[in-house]
Structure 1
Amino acid sequence: MTVRTTRRAFVTAGLLATALAATACGSPQDTANGDDSAPVKVGLVYSQSGALATYGKQYIEGFKAGLSYATKGSNKVGDRAIEVTEVDDAGDPAKAVSAAKDLIGKGYKILGGSTASGVALQVAPIAAQNKVLFVSGPAATDGVTGINRYTFRSGRQSYQDVLTAKSFIGDATGKKVVVFGQDSAFGKANEAAVQAVIGGAGATVSSVLAPASATDFTPFATQLKAAKPDLLFVAWAGTTAPAMWQTLDQQGVLSSTTVVTGLDIRASWPTFGAAGSKISFLSHYFDGATDNEAAKAAKDAVPGGTLDLFHPDGFAAAQMIVHAIEQGADDVDKMIAGLEGWSFDGVKGKMTVRAEDHALLQPMFQVKLSGSGTDYTAQLVKALTPDECAPPAATMKG
């Protein structure tokens, strides 16, 4: 397991070790006893490697930008430095749990990260058991919302994605919706979400699930076109995506109905090929979706100056953690109380932590791509307000 600390954290740790060896003041108990100069330790457990490493890279870049923004460049709250330790979980829940326990054992009362949904669902109970604050990151699973009072989220959840998809057809009553995905946990999860959200709003929802091993998509395209849906929701992951989109385009599916899918990171846009400009996209975020103070600060701070899908999640996490420290110092209960119901201006716009279940209410976006291949540009069609894509309140479990 790889642990990286900031230069300041390394120096501080070295000085602390020296002080302890000399039996001087500056023990780990200082923070617990209310020392207003001791560093505040924040542990970020996220994907530095593994399948979601690109997402993790955007998260940490956004976090560093947000930390600077929220502290006006000082990386301090009052006289207390915020000491950040980064741990790679490689997207593995077992590694994440081990890292979380290790950090908690070292006195950390604030954890963040969780690029992967499976990780977030395993770390959240650890936070509750040990009564530490946990701000989950890009992990989109709805299960994080309301899982316990110690867990918050800095990104969107799947329900908000599907509500954004629903916005393309307006009133769902009497509408026909087809979900096209892979016959896998991912595909079935999307099928269930669309059934719950759009079906629950009055639409008739059916699905066409292709084997994950499928390479010939013509039979599926024929079936989808014949269904004549008002909305075709596509949930696809993996290397067969370019062939799938090409077939749907060639068979006339994309021109026969409204086809909606999620817009992933910029690096994935070429996978749509010539089909890209014919698809309607729901979007968590893309560069140019907003132009507020936080977005400008993030663009100025992230490497390359271009924002991507998960930069806002890291930025918001830093804003939330700084606010929690300002409100609670070292008292986790006060941190929680300070975050519940808090509204703030993030990269995406106005964000609100819903008090009853810790859902993060936020804008979502309808997007079109123009251009082709590697030269696609995202264009905002509509920004949905936080209320328009707010998930139903969950019951807090603990």
Structure 2
Amino acid sequence: MKRIKPMAAVLLATFAAGGNAVAAPDLKVALIAGKTGPLEAYAKETETGFMMGLEYLLGPKMAINGRKLTVIVKDDQGKPDLGRTLLAEAYGDDQVDIAVGTTSSGSALAMLPVAKEYKKVLVVEPAVADEITGAKRNKYIFRSGRSSMQDALAAASTLKNGSVAFLAQDYAFGRDAIKAGKQALQTTGSKASVVHEEYAPAATTDFTAPTQRLFDALKDKPQPRVLAIVWAGPNPMNKIADMKPERYGISLAPGGNILPIMKTWKAYAGTEGTTHYYYGFPKNKMNDWLVAEHMKRFKAPPDMFTAGGMAAASAVVAALQKAPSGNGDQMAAAMEGMTFDTPKGAMTFRKEDHQALQSMYHFRIKKIQQNEWDLLELVREIPAGDLPLPVTNKR
């Protein structure tokens, strides 16, 4: 007697003989961002960059190896509880293969255990808290964005000696950044002394009192005297500059900010700082495309979080190409040590903590600006190899 083939085998043979094939299911990615709330501008830039990145990498078909890629966008409003809920919804109900998010560090930290619970990869962009790839991380967490320590190491590399005081917002981002700043000075071997830390509420509009305390702390200390400003959202540099720090020999050192904020710094030409992206600095094919297309579509160059969104898209595409099954363990293994292209150039997820190693930039505010977006000149690109980023996670 002839054995009867199982029905599945018969169907497969039939489809093969007829030249047909069962369509593979769509690949799904969730993008979670704080699209309403204080970081709305950052979130919208991230979404724009993410979608443009997929377009650049995948073309109009938006497919990887013949499988259509679907993006599900969710707004966590910068709220940790909502971020946690939305990620669980994405993994559980929406059955996404991989997720990206989010804007707020508080929300991102709340999401980390969810990725571990569902055994699915989460690419963190653009939240910067060091704990994300440090003490709180797990095997499913990868960050394409930079960390607070990478910001701090870039800034510290420009300060060899003298005195520094910090101004930051009085919440997790600000305190994490200043902690990193102090550690970075030690790590880079800087002889600069930290003489004061000032924390102000995020909603502060009158900076007179905190600025005077910073001036008083710095004015008699060894030169150079630097007031480092670490601030998310509307930056207080103009208000601080109006109080004339130069009368005490104090220089301001702002971190890079979004373009609408930096446009207001024109009066402070010559001031130096560090940033993780400015559209005119990187010279590569991906950034050239991003700048040209963004100018064409939005009449303005891409901003730092736009570039970050594109970097996250590149990481997602590379991960799905390496592990198309969507299995989180396989994907996490494939992503360790993975190098992927971004508007800043190639980045690599470090095996030890899954932080993307990347260049940073030392800038100077231009004295002669050719147009409204011609804001910064490059002092030096700081390669990843010059940023001794410590490994702080417990594997």
Q: Tell me the TM-score normalized by structure 2.
A: 0.83
* Cα distance change, pair 95–229 in 1 and its aligned pair in 2 (3 A): farther
How is 1:1-398 mapped onto 2 (pairs within 5 angstroms)?
37-106=24-93, 107-146=95-134, 147-169=137-159, 172=160, 175-182=161-168, 184-185=170-171, 186-200=173-187, 201-203=189-191, 204-209=193-198, 212=201, 215-216=207-208, 217-218=211-212, 220-230=214-224, 232-237=226-231, 240-249=236-245, 251-253=246-248, 256=249, 259-272=252-265, 274-275=267-268, 277-302=269-294, 303-304=297-298, 306-330=301-325, 331-371=327-367, 375=372, 377-397=375-395
Q: Do the aligned partners of residues 179 and 379 (structure 1) sit closer, same or farther apart at CA in structure 2, a change above 3 Å counting? A: same
Q: Give the secondary-structure state (helix, strand or coil) at the position aligned to 2:28.
A: strand
Deviation of 1:47 (Å): 1.6
2:265 & 2:222 partners in 1: Cα distance?
A: 22
Q: Structure 2: which amino acid aligns with 1:279?
A: T
**How many residues end up aligned between the 2 structures?**
355
Q: CA RMSD in A?
A: 2.4
Q: Which stretches in structure 2 are left out of the alignment for 5+ residues?
A: 1-21
Q: SS at the partner of 1:263?
A: coil
The percent identity for this pair of structures is: 26
Q: Classify 1:239/1:308 alpha carbon distance in 2 versus 1 (closer, same or farther; 3 Å).
A: closer
Point out the structure with max Rg over C-alpha: 2
Distance 1:88 1:381, change over 3 A: same
**Which letter does structure 2 place at the counterpart of 1:156?**
R
CA deviation after TM superposition for structure 1 residue 155, in Å: 0.8
Which segments of 5 or more consecutive residues in structure 1 lack a partner in the other structure?
1-34
Which residue of 1 is the match for residue 4 of structure 2?
Answer: none
* Cα deviation digits, residues 170-207 of structure 1 (max 9, x gap): xx4xx333223157235543332222110343533221
Instruction: Say whether the 8 Å CA contact 1:178–1:229 is kept in structure 2.
Output: no
Decide whether aligned partners of structure 1 residues 315 and 187 sit closer, same or farther in structure 2, where only a CA change above 3 A counts: closer
Any conservation in 2 of the 1:299–1:307 contact (CA below 8 Å)?
Answer: yes
Deviations 1:146-170 (Å, cap 9, x if unpaired)? 411101111111111111111213x
Distance 1:231 1:190, change over 3 A: farther
Q: How much does 1:227 deviate?
A: 1.9
Report SS of the residue matched to 1:349.
Answer: coil
The separation in 2 between residues aligned to 1:229 and 1:205, in whole angstroms, is 12
Q: 1:279 to 1:100 in 2, by over 3 A?
A: same
Letter in 1 for 2:380: K
Tell me, yes or no, if the aligned pair for 1:191 and 1:207 is still in contact at 8 Å: no
Q: Secondary structure at the match of 1:285?
A: coil
Amino acid at match of 2:226: L
Q: For the residues of structure 1 that align with 2:258 and 2:339, how far apart are their CA atoms?
A: 27
**3-state SS of the aligned residue for 2:36?**
coil
**Contact 2:195 2:217 survives alignment (8 Å):** no
Q: In the aligned structure 1, how far is the partner of 2:48 from the partner of 2:285?
A: 17
| The 10-residue stretch of structure 1 (302-311 or 230-239) with the greater mean CA deviation from structure 2 | 230-239
